[in-house]
Amino acid sequence: MQNKIKEIIDDAYHGKLLNQREIKELLDLDTGSEEFYYLLFKARQMSAEACSGKAEIHGQVGVNSGPCGCNCAFCSFAAENKIFTEQQVEPLERVLEQSLDLEQAGANAIYLMATAQLNFQGFLEMGRQVRRELRTSVPLIANMADFNDEQAVALRQAGFAGVYHAVRIGEGVVNRIKLEDRLQTIEAARRAGLAIGTCVEPIGPEHSVEEIIEKIIIAREAKPGFSGAMRRVTLPGTSLSRYGMVGEARMALIVGVVRLVTPREVPGNCTHEPNAIGAVAGANLFWAEAGSNPRDVVNYTETNRGFDVGRCKKILVDAGWQVLEGPSKFC
Ligand code: SF4
């Protein structure tokens, strides 16, 4: 094994914040190399230590669907992708049922996900109702459009404990959202006392190592409860479909690198969609999904791409993890 690579990996494991050049050395590793497997080994070890050996499963409910003018090319709701043509907001009863089902199945956190078109007050009210009905202290997390300080406080008051928010790869290039707005939202969430979860996403084969490094560092600097890496899912017939998808071994390398590059005070390291080699590489957070979903072309992802809690758990256990019971420690 190359000493130089082993040293970078060991330094990261022992708490050194790697610089861009060092991160690049790791991301450039061949997935068939000895160094790759050593990286996975140390990332997994660091991940297990950071979360006391307990992986988590978070359950997400998509609460609406329909064309979205932000036009993120990677998202099935982008108006330009012409996958969803009608605005549809799920009835509260359905959102409640899906949230309670996920909680009952053992999800450690419940997320409500909305497109950027959903009325903020409507989303808040949904959050209030779900919080009221959840039977345990499982945290409720918002995954929604950019928001300001006032809205961040309103989210907190409605019972949301945190947000999922990422500076996605290609902000301002493959969509109409400014990178700066994403960062300001994360800061607004922090000021309001909301926990932050983030991820380097959605990664496609065409993205340069430099671009991935930039987003790994942005995620690290957000001081989240979890970071991680997610690949873009191909939506047939859309502008990005010609690039295809990143393979799971390459994603395992990236999720392992994210773990090593992110301080161990950040306990969570997610990957999506759930897969065994990702968990072997140190992913300790998977998502179970219900309702609408930006990676799916149907209204109810649980009937198509979405994994349920049991399926996520089986993969984590297959990969040698124990799964936390009770409320998340990541948010
Ligand atoms: S990712 Fe969000 S903001 Fe972008 S098109 Fe989809 S719903 Fe709209």
Domains and CATH numbers, the chain: 54-323 (3.20.20.70)
Kindly calculate the radius of gyration of the chain based on its CA atoms and give it in whole angstroms. Answer: 19
105 lines ligand 1 (CB under 6 A): no
What distance in Å separates the CA atoms of residue 299 and residue 76, rounded to the nearest whole number? 11
Instruction: HSE, CB side, 13 Å, CA atoms: give it for residue 208.
Output: 4
Instruction: Provide the pLDDT for residue 139.
Output: 98
Best mutation site among 60, 64, 75 for ligand 1, i.e. most ligand atoms within 8 A of its Cβ?
Answer: 75
* Residue located nearest, by CA, to atom 4 of ligand 1: 72
Mean pLDDT, the chain, rounded, equals 98
194: exposed, middle or buried (C-beta count within 10 Å: 0-12, 13-18, 19+)?
buried
Q: Which atom of ligand 1 is nearest to the CA of 68?
A: 8
Residue keyed to tokens 């050996």: 53
Best mutation site among 68, 171, 176, 232 for ligand 1, i.e. most ligand atoms within 8 A of its Cβ?
Answer: 68
What distance in Å separates the CA atoms of residue 31 and residue 318, rounded to the nearest whole number? 21
Instruction: Provide the pLDDT for residue 145.
Output: 97
Instruction: Provide the pLDDT for residue 99.
Output: 98
Q: For 111-155, how does the pLDDT look when each residue is reduced to its tens digit (9 = 90+)?
A: 999 999 999 999 999 999 999 999 999 999 999 999 999 999 999
95: exposed, middle or buried (C-beta count within 10 Å: 0-12, 13-18, 19+)?
buried
pLDDT, mean of residues 240-266: 98
DSSP class per residue in 141-207? EEE-S---HHHHHHHHHHT--EEE----TTTTTSSS--HHHHHHHHHHHHHTT-EEE--EEEE-TT-
294 lines ligand 1 (CB under 6 A): yes
Q: How many whole angstroms from 75 Cα to the centroid of ligand 1?
A: 6
Q: How many whole angstroms from 297 Cα to the centroid of ligand 1?
A: 14
116 lines ligand 1 (CB under 6 A): yes
What distance in Å separates the CA atoms of residue 40 and residue 26, rounded to the nearest whole number? 11
What distance in Å separates the CA atoms of residue 66 and residue 25, rounded to the nearest whole number? 41
78 lines ligand 1 (CB under 6 A): yes
Q: How many whole angstroms from 163 Cα to the centroid of ligand 1?
A: 16
